[in-house]
Amino acid sequence: MRRERRKSQKSRWLFFCDLCETFASSAFKNPRCFMNLLEVNNLSLQFRTRSGTVQALEDVSLSIDKGETVGLVGESGSGKSVLSYAVLGLSDAAARVTQGTATFDGLDLLAASERDLQDIRGREVSMIFQNPKVALNPIRKVGHQLQDVLARHTTTLRADLATRAIECLAEMKIPDPTRRYHAYPFELSGGLCQRVMIALALACGPKLLIADEPTTGLDVTTQAAIMALIREKARATGMTTLLITHDLGLARAQCDRIVVMHAGHVVESARTEVLFNAPQHPYTRQLIGATPVGRAALSELTAVRGSLPDLRRTDLPACRFSQRCDFYSDACAKPLPSIVDGGHLVRCHHPLVLECVA
């Protein structure tokens, strides 16, 4: 809370809050200032399919503070994308939330109307999808797609839409933005499509950006350039970022905090340096062991053993990592505990003792 005070019309002193960017009559009046931007509590979600019910998320909790960059990591199939779609109300028709809550800036996302969600998506929360060639409209010029977003969510005058759309392309360092404005997605390379996707996501200055595997399939140089663009924007505007990736190295380089998912469970979350130096969950430890760090030789890397359990099983164990774990004991059949120590959460009956791994 900035100590800036102004006289209101009724001659009362008002305090300006940097976080919610509003004036309040008391320094501690607005409870939204003290809320996390995104808060998911005990969320469970299943898909009804012909071959059975997929228990895609179970008891998932996650919170993201304003301005933070949080990494959501885990193998493919852990539930990272399902979680982000559920939060944005974009889940498949077969999906059903069976318990839990999700709030964005104080708004109950699971109870919000489709109209409210449409207002929030694009303007307040934006998403970069995993595959830009699929996410972009193939029969509409990229400039026109940008104009559509600007017209829907901003107050840009109709006469200025094209200029602003070209500016958005230029901000993403797309060469020759005026020519690219008239291009169709199939005329652009994968890297350029990804930049267009990011331009669309950032056009309205969202409070929260959800980037789902934003650099998968791109070469290392383009990957670094794209992550630099996102970071630059986040720094300049105070944007909060949820970076979804299976690449632990990328998450380590980009994120303040990391949340680890395995088979629909959040198993650990901690500040990045704490998670890498002292992972407490056996799965996190195996993931880190499989991640190249610095100049580590390939022979030093170890693959994560086994595979994810079939989430259609009706007899899924309380700990979904149990069949891959070296530390299994009878206690592991009991419901998972949530052990929290100074912001470090681990959901395991036998958390590993602190030791330096990386």
Ligand X SMILES: Nc1ncnc2c1ncn2[C@@H]1O[C@H](COP(=O)(O)OP(=O)(O)O)[C@@H](O)[C@H]1O
Binding site for ligand SF4 (CB under 6 A): 282, 319, 321-322, 325, 327-328, 332, 348-350
Torsion (CA) 228, 232, 235, 236 in degrees, nearest 10:
-170
Site string for Mg ion, 40-79 (x = CB under 5 A): ----------------------------------------
User: Rule CB under 6 A: is residue 77 a binding residue for ligand X?
Assistant: yes
Quick one: DSSP state of residue 28? T
13 interface partner picked from ligand X, ligand SF4, Mg ion, none, CB below 5 to 8 A per type: none
Instruction: State the nearest-atom distance from the C-beta of 139 to Mg ion, in Å.
Output: 26
Contact assessment for residue 211 and residue 132, using Cβ atoms and an 8 Å cutoff: no
Complete DSSP assignment for 171-230? HTT-SSHHHHHT--GGGS-HHHHHHHHHHHHHTT--SEEEEESTTTTS-HHHHHHHHHHH
Segment interacting with ligand X, rule: CB under 6 A, options 72-80, 98-106, 178-186, 192-200: 72-80
Complete DSSP assignment for 215-275? TTTS-HHHHHHHHHHHHHHHHHHT-EEEEEES-HHHHHHH-SEEEEEETTEEEEEEEHHHH
- 253/333 with CB nearer ligand SF4: 333
Cα–Cα separations (whole angstroms), residue 310 to 116, 207, 251, 320, 345: 35, 36, 26, 10, 25
User: Rule CB under 6 A: is residue 79 a binding residue for ligand X?
Assistant: yes
Which of 14, 35, 82, 209 binds ligand X (CB under 6 A)? It is 82
Give residues 33-62 in contact with ligand X (rule: CB under 6 A).
47, 49, 54, 56
Q: Which two tokens stand for residue 202?
A: 């950032």
Which of 78, 81, 223, 286 binds Mg ion (CB under 5 A)? It is 81
Instruction: State the nearest-atom distance from the C-beta of 45 to ligand X, in Å.
Output: 9
- 104/321 with CB nearer ligand SF4: 321
Within 8 A by CB and 6+ apart from 26, the residues are 15
- 147/284 with CB nearer ligand SF4: 284
CA distance 251 to 238: 19
User: Rule CB under 6 A: is residue 221 a binding residue for ligand X?
Assistant: no
Instruction: State the nearest-atom distance from the C-beta of 43 to ligand SF4, in Å.
Output: 20
Under the rule (CB under 6 A), what is the footprint of ligand X?
47, 49, 54, 56, 74, 76-82, 92, 94, 311
